[in-house]
Structure 1
Amino acid sequence: MAASEELARRVVEAGRSCSLTTAVLEEWSRLGTPKQVEYLAGYLEAERSSREASKRATLLRRCALPAPKTFDGYDWSAVSWPEDMGRESLLALDFVERREDLVLMGDVGTGKTHMASALCALACERRLEARFFTASSLVMRLRRARDDGRLDREAALIGKARLLVIDELGFLPLDADGARLLFQIFADAYERQSVVITTNLEFSRWGSVFGDDQMAAAVIDRIVHHGRLVQFRGESYRVRHALMQEG
């Protein structure tokens, strides 16, 4: 084996078998020539970029977005902000850092799900764990976990996410069992995670979703305590851009 190949093998083996320490890095930075230190810095920066890209890809895959979205070209015209929040604050993910909630409420097709999906992708880009579920798919997932005797484990996995999106709350009614399972997720997330909910129903109609006014009130109480309401008004984007038009 050529000397250069042997050196390359030693570099790979050493790099894969140890974590770098500050003391060793400082020592080798002092011992090396300027060119050697420049080479070492370039290698370490490339390694850091590779690890960060790998982590972002893993987080995005785990997030399980049905259709990944971004805010590039997003139409903000339907969005009405609360007084203490705006686009800049949203894109900075300030609410995630403060473990606050968002309710994206309003007309069908005005960008609620797009915003929620793009927030998940943005969180993953910044190496924050995020999870995306429709309300119905989350309930089905929890039911399967309970039937398999692993509900606590599933809830713990969901609870690891810094940002949890529950999409389409109210599109399909929940039975009593499903409502209880979903309520537990809200209860576990309270003051521990940021929850983003998309819905076309006003709070006064959430009782019909959960099938129980008291349970709905308990969910709303937790959300509004550390949350904000972002409202959406306007014509459906899908209707405006539909291929099928009346003559």
Structure 2
Amino acid sequence: MSRSLTLTRSVLAGTLAEATPNQLDFIERWFTAELDSRERSKRLRLLKQAGFPADKTLDGYDWTNLKMPADWGRAQLENLDFVAGCEDLVLYGPVGTGKSHLAIAIGRLACERGVPVRFFTATGLLMRLRRAQQENRLDRELASIGKARLLIIDEFGYLPIDEEGSRLLFQIISDSYETRSIIYTTNIEFSGWGRVLGDKNMAAALIDRTVHHGRLIRFEGRSYRSEHALMTK
């Protein structure tokens, strides 16, 4: 426990050697409270740095519309095994079926467990990279994003990406290969990724990296937003 605190070892050792049982109990409770406080601060810092657009959790989440891989399921997802293995997830399905909700909830869960996470929409990520490139700080921006162990790219394919944007996005994904995990949410099947990126060869390389250490989770059913929209009532 003392290794996590910035105290002089000789002073600490001397204090512990001379302490009474009651004093030792107090010191232990003090250290425990300090470490707990630091852990809480770390979790809050990670949640803030992640950039989640909403406070989504797994509490009450409807799992009925999901189709998991045959050898992999909810337990592995919630255990964050895929993050430990630098594996990717593609959450694929129609709009409004809970893909972004699940991605955010898993990202927040990772932060709660001390895992650095960054969340972006695909469009937001590209805008951020373009701005960094224009300001001659692209390397710093890539390094900052690269500190995350889990990267979430939401709404991939909702808007087409031009050639320069495709290169920037590919650089992020290529740098992440076997070094961190990526969660994509998309309503575009793999065969349409070339159309989104405007480059079939680049799309093939991206898909190859994603499939190699990745899993596909399919979402089905009607849009939750449509079913609960005020205009339909």
For Structure 1 versus Structure 2, the TM-score category normalised by the shorter chain is over 0.9
Q: Which of 167, 191, 194 is the matching residue for 2:154?
A: 167
Q: Deviations over 1:129-168 (max 9, x none)?
A: 0000000000000000000000011001111100000000
From the superposition, tell whether residues 24 and 91 of structure 1 become closer, same or farther in structure 2 (CA, over 3 Å).
farther
Q: Which of 18, 26, 50 is the matching residue for 1:63?
A: 50
Aligned to 1:76: 63
Aligned to 1:3: none
Partner-residue secondary structure (3-state), 1:229 = strand
Q: In 2, Cα distance between the equivalents of 1:82 and 1:157?
A: 32
From the superposition, tell whether residues 115 and 23 of structure 1 become closer, same or farther in structure 2 (CA, over 3 Å).
farther
1:127 matched to 2:126: no
| Bigger-Rg structure (1/2) | 1
Offset at residue 243 of structure 1 (A)? 1.3
Partner-residue secondary structure (3-state), 2:145 = helix
Aligned to 1:181: 168
1:38 matched to 2:25: yes
Counterpart residue type for residue 139 of structure 2? D
Unaligned runs of 5+ in 2: none
Correspondence list, 1:216-235, <5 A: 216-235=203-222
Give the total of aligned pairs: 229
Unaligned runs of 5+ in 1: 1-17
From the superposition, tell whether residues 230 and 24 of structure 1 become closer, same or farther in structure 2 (CA, over 3 Å).
farther
Offset at residue 27 of structure 1 (A)? 4.5
Q: Deviations over 1:5-49 (max 9, x none)?
A: xxxxxxxxxxxxx81366654543332111101110111111001
Correspondence list, 1:187-202, <5 A: 187-202=174-189
Partner-residue secondary structure (3-state), 1:196 = strand
Partner-residue secondary structure (3-state), 1:103 = strand
**Superposed structure 1 runs of 4+ greater than 6 Å apart:** none
User: Higher mean Cα deviation, 135-144 or 83-92?
Assistant: 83-92
1:212 matched to 2:199: yes
Q: In 2, Cα distance between the equivalents of 1:23 and 1:95?
A: 42
Q: In 2, Cα distance between the equivalents of 1:243 and 1:21?
A: 63
1:149 matched to 2:136: yes
Cα RMSD (Å):
1.3
Q: In 2, Cα distance between the equivalents of 1:159 and 1:47?
A: 30
Q: Percent identity?
A: 57
Aligned to 1:19: 6
Q: Which of 110, 119, 127 is the matching residue for 1:140?
A: 127
TM-score scaled by structure 1?
A: 0.90
Correspondence list, 1:44-55, <5 A: 44-55=31-42
